[in-house]
Structure 1
């Protein structure tokens, strides 16, 4: 038996860095270096800003853009994926730390952050080894849209007081909104001006020069304003002292595991979901597609290593990955260059970063968090299906009103309920034939001339038929039969890939009921697996081969032949003996 390489079996047990280093083209060095430096100009300001969202010192953002970035570049399967932290992970981390360390002391926060990040890493690695990469698909796209929209609302409200120079005591969403509104009379005009200038710079650069390092330029303007204009004397708060040098070793606290593990599961899920989505979105032709289970291991080890050096939970960011790719990144070397720039910043520029106004950081967070709320996505969902639009709104409301961690649970539950609803309510179509062809299609007002066959009802159920939906399928078919009063009901089973025992038993009972009522049940287009199930059951003996057909054309032909033979049979019955 031929064995597949480890990379195709699952997470693998070798260094993926050897794969891309062996195939590295020397002509990629320049574009990788340019991309890495440019991406750093986007990653570093945002990472520091997101650290403040989590209630952590800004240097934690730098640590997160260093260690996880390096580890992922060595172990990850996506060439352009840029790994640090994201707005979603930041707000989830803030919620988790707020519950575990309510006093917010710097030392306790550092230990709790290390414990949380290590837990996230361990969960991701275990999920990869257990090949649970498919779990990311448990959150449907509409629900994820609603979840991210809710995150955007929460983050913007969280940052608005910093943008206006207002000090509020944090609480629930409603409490924070009330505190912000009542605190507006005490807002600082100077702080508002700095925040507004930051937002204006970011918005204008993103629209006019989308490839420019807009966050870096905005942060540089804020630092320059503090240095040259003495903004702190107008009441504008700045970041303050940032330690220069490498991060210190931080040991997790085992006693916090019980309090943090539920949040860690949610953060791990969102980290993987965002990472795999960003990695897949920017794959170029000829490049390897990110492998979910190996991505779990790579991001897990990136988080575990970062935890010991003080970083917060990390994952792939869409916007920074987009910059990395659009500027020309060809391999993981670009991420290593970004990490090198981060290291240089930590060693040389920390005092300069200490001059950054909090209003500038708040402006950066707000501008890039607003991008998570995309009305166009909601409109697109509504245009297709109102039900999924409602699910998106439920996920959004769950995050806003009940908190981000409960919001994740609601998002997953809504997705599972949505899946259960769809599975339990499969479509059932009445078919007709397009005239002059052998094409059978569902009855539609757009095709009023399609051919029907009096006395024969063609019905097509779709999907797996099993105990959860068999009754619903029967309830949908019964009124069709009652209305048509056919002599034959032909079930087109081509779209049914599995027939479970409970469903098979119900179908057997339906066949007997129809037979007693003078209606014949025919089965058409059975897959090999479904055919074997039917053959091994009493239904197979009741139907016989003469009432099972390969396709609808055969069934219709058999019906026409039986119709031609029927007058002769009737005449023979009427002849005297």
Structure 2
């Protein structure tokens, strides 16, 4: 193999051991039994023919295996990506014309892949950290609610036009008397079967069993004659290439950007979540390149935008996969389905697919996780609710924007309102800690106020710190303010000027300002400033203990 090509391949490829092959093949077969039925269901969420899901489990999975850095990540598509794709395609092909839909899907997938690849080349992997965990929990919960409501008509045998979330939910309620009981029966039986297998026989591939049962019921009971709809004709053979449209690319650009962000966020989250201790950490920028190439390849083969799935990666890990060779096996099974099993897939009830989607989408709503967030921090619980409401009320793609805005607002709130601790000393020690009712015996020092700001001090939070300090010096007995900067990694010019002005104002009031505990970088900045010249060595101390000794000596 040429050295240039070998350099592009991930480390696992060069370190592969022959003893891993059996485990990888077995894991790949197990994952295929789960991924392929779910991929078919996800295609229906996106409003695409079911074979699009099959192609997504085929091409992106194989390409990622050669370029990804996670050894067990399983890449096809996810519930979130599917519904975002469906929302985007509905905007440009509102009536779902069969002649336009493949072109629109290819254009969207190509855009998403190109954006992921470009982001990887530009080393923008750090952007995945701009959506906080509570906001992501809320976003996924909103997605889960939207998917369940979207699939309910198929579960009930209703044929309703797609509308906004609230209008769609109201329409379902109004048309409940028109429910097809045979269709509902198939759906309920599928849900019970899935839940039972997941609960009592988790080693069995539940989606595969559900699909087989649905096809068997249709044939044995003649349910098609009773109004139970089926998937219909699924083309046999390998996918065809569809030429993307430049006009549609302009219309889909913003949607593709949101899907690319969510694809990468889910991919890196799944890769890191199931990383074994003896495996290297997935590299964010390489993952962007890998999923970008995988999605670009899928665009040429009728696939949907791709990303790493949490549930299928979990199955891959538990099944013993040691490398992406397991993904190659899963992709090979998808090829076999496309070549030989298409007629069986076409006989599957739509209600079965809807039931599979609902069962695996309900898991996106995690009440326990909401409760944990609320128990730790109420503010972040509110952010999670806002993100969920943004998806439900505004739409999924707009929900991404809401999630990002909420995350950035949360970040801004945290950095612009840094903690300012008023300190006391634990009696008989040199331990300084925040004054509280729990420690009433801690020492305080008449005429001195000890404060400790935490975090970087810069233009956005300097004034807020000043506001917090003002009430502390209103006591006429205060003669010295000692600011412990050991928890401040950096201080910016605006903040330094604020401290300089504060020192001048305090000086006019007969109050001294001392700085202590500065790291070398902060000390260097302060010493070169006008504040450093005003304070001199007498106003800057190594730590609080030394500062208090100097203060007590000055007071006699």
Q: Same fold (TM over 0.5)?
A: yes
Aligned pair 1:206/2:198, yes or no?
yes
Q: CA deviation at 1:452?
A: 1.5
CA distance in 2, matches of 1:255, 1:431: 63
CA distance in 2, matches of 1:281, 1:14: 28
* Per-residue deviation, residues 138-196 of structure 1 (Å, max 9, x unmatched): 11111111111110110000000000001101110111011111111000001001000
* Per-residue deviation, residues 432-466 of structure 1 (Å, max 9, x unmatched): 11222221111122222222112211101111111
Match of 2:539 in 1: 547
CA distance in 1, matches of 2:312, 2:174: 36
* Aligned-residue RMSD, C-alpha: 1.2
Q: Judge conservation of contact 2:79–2:361 (CA < 8 Å) in 1.
A: yes
Secondary structure, aligned partner of 2:450 = strand
Q: For the structure 1 residues 131 and 13, does the alpha-carbon distance in structure 2 shift closer, same or farther, using more than 3 Å as the test? A: farther
CA distance in 2, matches of 1:523, 1:107: 72
Aligned pair 1:337/2:329, yes or no?
yes
Q: Judge conservation of contact 2:10–2:69 (CA < 8 Å) in 1.
A: no
Match of 1:64 in 2: 56
Q: Judge conservation of contact 2:11–2:69 (CA < 8 Å) in 1.
A: no
Q: Judge conservation of contact 1:15–1:74 (CA < 8 Å) in 2.
A: no
Q: Judge conservation of contact 2:430–2:545 (CA < 8 Å) in 1.
A: yes
* Per-residue deviation, residues 106-161 of structure 1 (Å, max 9, x unmatched): 12110000000000001011111111101111111111111111101100000000
Aligned pair 1:308/2:300, yes or no?
yes
Q: Unmatched 5+ residue regions in structure 2?
A: none
Q: Judge conservation of contact 2:446–2:477 (CA < 8 Å) in 1.
A: no
Q: 1:190 aligns with which of 182, 188, 195?
A: 182
Match of 2:406 in 1: 414
Matches within 5 A, 1:75-224: 75-224=67-216
Secondary structure, aligned partner of 1:430 = strand
Structure 1 segments (4+ residues) deviating >4 Å: 12-16
Matches within 5 A, 1:15-30: 16-17=8-9, 19-30=11-22
Secondary structure, aligned partner of 2:106 = helix
Q: 1:425 aligns with which of 414, 417, 423?
A: 417
Match of 1:273 in 2: 265
CA distance in 2, matches of 1:183, 1:175: 12
CA distance in 1, matches of 2:208, 2:459: 58
Match of 1:452 in 2: 444
Q: Judge conservation of contact 1:124–1:297 (CA < 8 Å) in 2.
A: yes
Match of 2:352 in 1: 360
Match of 2:526 in 1: 534
Q: Judge conservation of contact 1:16–1:76 (CA < 8 Å) in 2.
A: no
CA distance in 2, matches of 1:484, 1:271: 59
Match of 2:276 in 1: 284
Match of 1:471 in 2: 463
Match of 2:369 in 1: 377
Matches within 5 A, 1:311-330: 311-330=303-322
Match of 2:481 in 1: 489
CA distance in 2, matches of 1:517, 1:240: 85
Aligned pair 1:504/2:496, yes or no?
yes
**148-157 vs 523-532, which deviates more?**
523-532
CA distance in 1, matches of 2:488, 2:477: 24
Secondary structure, aligned partner of 1:432 = strand
* Per-residue deviation, residues 80-110 of structure 1 (Å, max 9, x unmatched): 0000111100110011000011131112110
- The normalised TM-score by structure 2 is 0.98
Match of 1:563 in 2: 555
Q: CA deviation at 1:228?
A: 2.3
Match of 1:8 in 2: none
Q: CA deviation at 1:14?
A: 5.4
Match of 1:296 in 2: 288
Secondary structure, aligned partner of 1:107 = coil
Q: CA deviation at 1:551?
A: 1.3
Q: CA deviation at 1:484?
A: 7.4
Match of 1:50 in 2: 42
- The normalised TM-score by structure 1 is 0.94
CA distance in 1, matches of 2:5, 2:373: 41
Secondary structure, aligned partner of 1:309 = coil
CA distance in 2, matches of 1:487, 1:85: 65
Secondary structure, aligned partner of 1:360 = helix
Q: CA deviation at 1:483?
A: 3.8
CA distance in 1, matches of 2:202, 2:368: 20
Q: CA deviation at 1:494?
A: 1.0
Q: Unmatched 5+ residue regions in structure 1?
A: 1-11, 565-577
Secondary structure, aligned partner of 1:136 = helix
Matches within 5 A, 1:397-408: 397-408=389-400
Match of 1:243 in 2: 235
